[in-house]
Amino acid sequence: MGADIFESFVGSIIAAMIIANDFDTASAGDYVLLPILLGFIGYTASIIGVFSMSFLKNGKDPAAALRNTTFIAAVLFWAGGYLAINLGLIEVNYGISNYFDFTVCMGGVYRSEDG
């Protein structure tokens, strides 16, 4: 990850944490930790996606292998984020889960139409 992309990524996490810190609810601390948790899940999914290339590269189409590693990472991120929110790893309002599902699905639709 390039320095400018990493700076934007960390900046967006910190901005979300600062906004969540202004909540006056009992679970405000969980909202502050949510961007860090989702960032960790995303990094873990990306690493697994990169290492999945080792068993996908034996196929006939290298472009399909690269595309499939992206899909593997995206599915792992969606599943990890969904489970982290819905299984109570972090206590957030259920509306957050609906928004998370919507944005991940729309991102997948946008990316599939883009390429």
Cα–Cα dist 19/1, whole Å: 25
Higher pLDDT, 113 or 3: 3
Percent of the chain with pLDDT over 70: 75
**Cβ pair 85, 96 in contact under 8 A:** yes
Residue ranges of domains in the chain: 3-114
Q: CA nearest 83: which of 24, 27, 38?
A: 38
Q: CA nearest 37: which of 110, 103, 108, 86?
A: 86
Q: Is the pLDDT of residue 39 over 70?
A: yes
pLDDT digits (tens, 9 = 90+) for 8-31: 878 888 888 888 888 777 767 777
Q: Is the pLDDT of residue 101 over 60?
A: no
Q: What is the pLDDT of residue 115?
A: 46
